[in-house]
Amino acid sequence: MGLLTAACAAYASLAAWLWLTFAQGMFWRTDVRLPPRTAPTHWPSVAIVVPARDEAEVLPRSLPSLLAQDYPGEAEVILVDDGSTDGTGALALRLAAAQPGLPLAVSSPGDPAPGWTGKLWALRHGILLARTAHATEPDFLLLTDADIAHEPDSLRELVAAATSADLDLVSQMARLRVAGLWERLVVPAFVYFFAQLYPFRRINRPSARTAAAAGGCVLLRTEAAVRAGVPDSIRQAVIDDVSLARAVHRSGGRIWLGLAERVDSVRPYRELADLWRMVSRSAYAQLRHQPLLLAGTVAGLVLVYLVPPAALLTGLAAGQPATAWAGGLAWLLMAGTYLPMLRYYGQPAALAPLLPFTALLYLLMTVDSAVQHYRGRGASWKGRTYARPSDA
């Protein structure tokens, strides 16, 4: 880049990082955990709804944790087998038979109706079953993915948080698996970027103007779900968790979102290709399939994450100390705000300066998501491809 251009880009990037660090809801802090809570005098009833499609690999590490919930009130687990071809439903029944615990029901909704994503169609079926299977509806619904394992007190703590703070939706961002090289590089950054877009502290304010949730673990009041018309009102959503939270928020519900302490994803992402699919399948949907938003996102990622190291190196090589200082300070703020997330995931601080490389990967994943969309492959997951909402 030209020296003048490099200097301007470095100053702009530094300004962006100063704003992100001090004015974006302290997104980088990782101490947003379940709010203060006390046990209710009467424990409400809960139906745990688990949509599952071809989850035989992870189910033995997740479903037993739900069946083993130490919950003082009435609770049951409903696993919705969404057209699995690997014996997911039969495996679930075998796991339940081998382990005493909460009662389990396994049901299948059939193929999604036109205009529905598979997961939301499965959730609709499970919620309907939960509301009609007994004489009274459950007070709460725990919507959790088939790859999420819960500690025995997870449900109890979620319900206590919801009842103590009079919340309609309590969601925890499950701690994702971090084992291999690519998981170490990509997974903490995934949560960091999510928090940057949806700062937890800002989301949790009663006066918040926006809303978000993490789909792996969502405790939802049944009456709030009915009031918001979910999942029917968001049936086309590919980013279903954020859409769910927004629907509840629009209907007057109070929501809370934070990081989990005892809720973990057991899904492995052994190769970069696995992580690539996880991100690219929905990245362009997050941008509402708008080319201008894609262009703005790419430009933003370049300015915020790629300019700082480039400006530092350019400034040093060209003898431009102001450019080097601006780029170096922006990179330092970037790495510094990333450190808490690395600590949360138990990763070394040495990974923090590598965030520009990870951001480049996310930029390429986002562009690939758009390319796949225009090739007609759209948001694809486990053999299904979804049209954008206007085409559904």
Say what the pLDDT of residue 109 is: 94
* pLDDT single digits (tens) 152-189: 999 999 999 999 999 999 999 999 999 999 999 999 99
Q: Which two tokens stand for residue 269?
A: 């992402």
Say what the pLDDT of residue 142 is: 98
Does residue 185 contact residue 351 with C-beta atoms inside 8 Å? yes
* pLDDT single digits (tens) 279-321: 998 899 888 889 999 999 999 999 999 999 999 999 999 999 9
**What DSSP character marks residue 288?**
T
Say what the pLDDT of residue 288 is: 85
- Dump strand ranges (E) for the chain: 46-52, 75-81, 104-107, 140-144, 148-150, 169-175, 217-221, 255-265, 379-381, 384-386
Give the residue ranges of the chain where pLDDT is below 70.
Answer: 1-3, 378-392
CA torsion sign, 336 to 181 to 150 to 278? positive
CA torsion sign, 37 to 39 to 44 to 50? positive
Helix (H, G, I), strand (E, B) or coil at 221: strand
Say what the pLDDT of residue 238 is: 84
The H-or-E segment that residue 249 falls in is: helix 240-250
Task: Indicate the pTM of the whole model.
Answer: 0.93
Full strand arrangement of the beta sheet holding 255-265: 104-107, 75-81, 46-52, 140-144, 217-221, 169-175, 255-265, 148-150
Please give the full DSSP string across 164-207, using - where no structure is assigned: HHT-SEEEEEEE----SHHHHHHHHHHHHHHHHHS-HHHHTSTT
Helix (H, G, I), strand (E, B) or coil at 351: helix
- Dump strand ranges (E) for 196-298: 217-221, 255-265
Helix (H, G, I), strand (E, B) or coil at 70: coil
Count Cβ atoms below 10 Å from residue 317 Cβ, excluding itself: 9
